[in-house]
């Protein structure tokens, strides 16, 4: 016996990460935060025709404490922003966020007193799915991109800081 061989430990843990990443990417428990018309397209994607269950994301959880991925589907107003942040903070690690539709990505065509200009100013966003609303194929593409991220263990931690502040 001697000192622990660190190189072997390194080798072993990285394989475990890969195994965990592979398992996690097919067990996405999503929390759908549905506020607006994008919800229709979300439902179309989740139902049997496009069958989101193929990606292991077929079981939405309606408690943020049981969820891994926060799907923000629809326009977020300034009145609702604190609620969204609370929901995000209630989720346990590891957690990811998907911005579904242009309103969540950038504010979309809204440029007024009521709308948050992109939820990434409030919570970190991993995958952006633009579209008004996005087609189900587009959503599935975003979901696969999210799976790649989960598999690699990547995660967005930074907020977007808008250049235009007053």
Partner 1 sequence: MSLPELLKNRFPQYIIATHNFRGDETVLLKREGLLEVAKTLKEDSAFDFKILMDLTCVDYLKFGVTPFNAPTTVTPSPLPFFMKPTKDPKGEKWERPEGNASRFEVTYHFYSLSKNHRIRLKVPLDEKSPEVDSLTALWASADWFEREVWDMFGIVFKNHPNLKRILMYEEFVGHPLRKDYPVNKRQPLIGPIN
- Site for partner 1, rule CB under 8 A: 78-79, 81-82, 85, 111-114, 116-118, 121-122, 161-162, 164-166
Q: Smallest gap, in angstroms, from Cβ of residue 102 to partner 1?
A: 15
For the purposes of burial, counting CB atoms within 10 Å of the CB of 44, is it exposed (0-12), middle (13-18) or buried (19 or more)? middle
Query: What is the sign of the dihedral through the CA atoms of 10, 12, 18 and 21?
Result: negative
Distance CA 30, CA 32 (A): 6
User: In this complex, which beta carbon is closest to partner 1, that of residue 34 or of residue 81?
Assistant: 81
Q: How far is the CB of 113 from partner 1 (least distance, A)?
A: 4
Q: Pick the closer one to partner 1 by CB: 44 or 81.
A: 81
Q: Which is nearer to partner 1, 116 or 143 (CB)?
A: 116
Among residues 91 and 139, whose Cβ is nearest to partner 1?
A: 91
What is the C-alpha to C-alpha distance for residues 29 and 108, in angstroms, rounded to an integer?
A: 27
Q: Output the six-digit token pair for 43.
A: 């439902």
Supply the minimum distance, in Å, between the C-beta of residue 141 and partner 1.
Answer: 28
């Amino acid at each position: 016996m001697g000192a622990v061989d660190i190189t072997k430990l390194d080798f072993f843990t990285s394989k475990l990460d890969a195994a965990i990443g592979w398992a996690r990417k097919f067990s996405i428990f999503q929390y759908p935060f549905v506020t607006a018309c994008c919800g229709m397209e979300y439902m179309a994607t989740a139902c049997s025709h496009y069958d989101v269950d193929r990606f292991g994301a077929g079981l939405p959880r309606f408690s943020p404490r049981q969820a891994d991925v926060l799907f923000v589907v629809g326009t977020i107003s300034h009145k609702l922003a604190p609620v969204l942040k609370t929901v995000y903070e209630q989720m346990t690690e590891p957690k990811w966020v998907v911005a579904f539709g242009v309103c969540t990505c950038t504010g979309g065509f809204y440029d007024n007193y009521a709308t948050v200009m992109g939820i990434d100013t409030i919570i970190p966003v991993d995958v952006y799915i633009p579209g008004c609303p996005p087609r189900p194929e587009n959503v599935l593409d975003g979901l696969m991109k999210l799976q790649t991220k989960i598999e690699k263990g990547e995660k967005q931690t930074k907020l977007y800081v808008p250049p235009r502040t007053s």
